[in-house]
A and B are shown apart, each in its own frame.
Chain A
Amino acid sequence: RDLFYTNDVQSAIILLPGYPNSSLQPNATFKASVFVKKKLVKLVVNFLFYFRTDEEEPQGALLLEQCRVEREDSLVFSIAFLDEAERKYLFECDSQEQCQEWVDSIIKASYEFMRKNLIFYRTEIHRLTGKDPLEQYGIEDETRFQVTSGLQPVQKDN
């Protein structure tokens, strides 16, 4: 199981609350060629940014689309991208609650997830009220908000 970010040395990223000026102590332990590094990780829109200790510029970013987020154990969650299913990025949190929060937040941050929600609400509101809720915003024809074939199609009134 691949750990984050380096090839020859295994490392895990430990999550901290998202404040850039929080003090980070790099915590390197050696355990049979395993480094454990603390990095600041920040969720912004559908990207997960990670930072080297005390740096303000991100070191890298992961696009949170087409990925699977899983709870690995009480403090650890993983992100796997669908193109590389064997490779998991592991994240260790400070508490169980925090771990769950991160899992939920990352799932909900995906644009595709949000789009599905939108289509669901659009369809349901139309079903319940007979009105397409996107019409009031003039965006009912936008490609990105169209109902996919799996759901009941929205009827256009015009």
Chain B
Amino acid sequence: MKIHEKILTHYLSCTSPVDKEGYLYKKKERTSSYQRRWFVLKANLLFYQERPADRHLLGVIVLEGCAIQHCESEGGLFAFSVVFRGSGLKTYRLAAENQLGQECWVKALLTASHCYLALLVRDLGKQYEAEAKRQAGPGESSQHSSVTGQSSEGLTQSMVSLNSCSSSFFMSVPVRTEGGNHRGSHVLQAPPMPSKVTSKRSPKLWPKRNAHVTPINGPVSAYGEWPQVDIDPLEDFTKLHEYYGEEVKQLRAEWLKRRQEGENYLEKDLIDLSEH
């Protein structure tokens, strides 16, 4: 499957806000050595390339339906992963040079998804309309202007179109045609909403979901299965956010604690937040 690269690179280089950028180490799949790459997070897309000035994009990760997990430190680097669950899908192992970097990236990636933003917007939209109505007083038509006149309907519409996807899709994304590498395929699906909040500490291990994963020059992966997707577009954002919030609070508490304990902590004191 082809994602039109020009559109991606244009978006990357245009003036829309960059949400985060910087060097991170990315683990190579087969050799398990880390390579330094320049990452740019914009919207729900994590682009990476060799250097900031490069015009050539090495890959892009669509941050939908993935979990962000802490990993044990390796080689002095502070590792975390972007995990797409499902057969045939890969995990991206990344690492920052210091703990602050790791913390900032994890937090930024956690709030990057399109669905997250959609729920947040819907939630605030409701708050706004309620507030505007309240202030307009009874018997008056509320004169609030709104960027979109039918924001909640429009979102529901988009959510409905997401909801109609009952299967997931494989994407193969050739951008460079070197060696005819057209066979990288990864599972894509409409972004899932959690149908229940798990009590696990690991970040957002939502049941049954896959993701948009589009390495531009990705490796070959086998086709996997096509799981059903349970999407509840009416999931309450506050529930979702409580879950996030709890997690972030816990992570922060641990980080602070570790910092206070000083630099020489034993690796085994690190809490392994990964699923297994």
Bound-complex Cα distance A125 to B144 (A): 11
Contact between chains at A148 and B17 (CB < 8 Å): yes
Given A111-B44, A128-B131 in contact, is the A60-B118 Cβ separation under 8 Å? no
Q: Is A59 an interface residue (CB 8 A)?
A: yes
Write the nearest CB–CB distance from A135 to chain B, whole angstroms: 11
Q: Which of the 9-residue segments B6-14, B25-33, B68-76, B263-271 touches chain A?
A: B6-14
Q: Is A74 an interface residue (CB 8 A)?
A: no
Given A20-B167, A111-B114, A117-B121 in contact, is the A58-B158 Cβ separation under 8 Å? no
Contact between chains at A114 and B118 (CB < 8 Å): yes
Given contacts A58-B1, A61-B1, 5 further A-B contacts (CB under 8 A): A18-B161, A58-B170, A124-B144, A125-B128, A128-B135
Bound-complex Cα distance A112 to B245 (A): 24
B: number of interface residues (CB 8 Å):
67
Given A47-B212, A83-B7, A114-B118 in contact, is the A60-B165 Cβ separation under 8 Å? no
Contact between chains at A57 and B3 (CB < 8 Å): no
Query: What would be 17 A-B contacts, judged by CB atoms less than 8 Å apart?
Result: A19-B164, A42-B161, A44-B162, A44-B189, A45-B62, A47-B212, A49-B169, A49-B188, A59-B2, A61-B1, A62-B7, A63-B8, A67-B7, A83-B6, A121-B121, A124-B131, A133-B127
A: number of interface residues (CB 8 Å):
53
Contact between chains at B167 and A108 (CB < 8 Å): no
Q: Which of A15-65 contact B (CB under 8 A)?
A: 17-20, 42-47, 49, 56-63, 65
Bound-complex Cα distance A108 to B101 (A): 33
Q: Which of B8, B115, B161, B172 is most buried by chain A, counting CB atoms within 10 A of its CB?
A: B161
Given A18-B164, A143-B108 in contact, is the A112-B43 Cβ separation under 8 Å? yes
Q: Is B273 an interface residue (CB 8 A)?
A: no
Q: Which of B78-104 contact A (CB under 8 A)?
A: none
Q: Which residues of B contact A58 (CB under 8 A)?
A: 1, 169-171, 188
Q: Which residues of B contact A20 (CB under 8 A)?
A: 165-167
Q: Pick the contact of A144: B11, B111, B190 (CB < 8 A).
A: B111
Contact between chains at A81 and B7 (CB < 8 Å): yes
Bound-complex Cα distance A122 to B146 (A): 12
Contact between chains at B147 and A116 (CB < 8 Å): yes
Write the nearest CB–CB distance from A45 to chain B, whole angstroms: 4
Q: Which residues of B contact A57 (CB under 8 A)?
A: 1, 169-172, 185
Contact between chains at B1 and A108 (CB < 8 Å): no
Contact between chains at B6 and A84 (CB < 8 Å): yes
- B residues near A (Cβ < 8 Å) are 1-4, 6-8, 10-11, 14, 16-17, 19-20, 43-45, 62, 64, 107-108, 111-112, 114-115, 117-118, 120-121, 124-125, 127-128, 131-132, 135, 144, 146-148, 151, 154-155, 157-158, 161-162, 164-167, 169-172, 185, 188-191, 212, 226, 241, 244-245, 248-249
Q: Which residues of A contact B121 (CB under 8 A)?
A: 114, 117-118, 121
Contact between chains at B4 and A61 (CB < 8 Å): yes
Bound-complex Cα distance A82 to B13 (A): 12
Q: Which residues of A contact B108 (CB under 8 A)?
A: 142-144
Q: Which residues of B contact A118 (CB under 8 A)?
A: 117, 120-121, 124
Bound-complex Cα distance A49 to B171 (A): 10
- B-contact bits for A113-140, CB 8 A (1 contact / 0 none): 0111110111011001100010001110
Q: Which residues of A contact B128 (CB under 8 A)?
A: 121, 124-125, 128
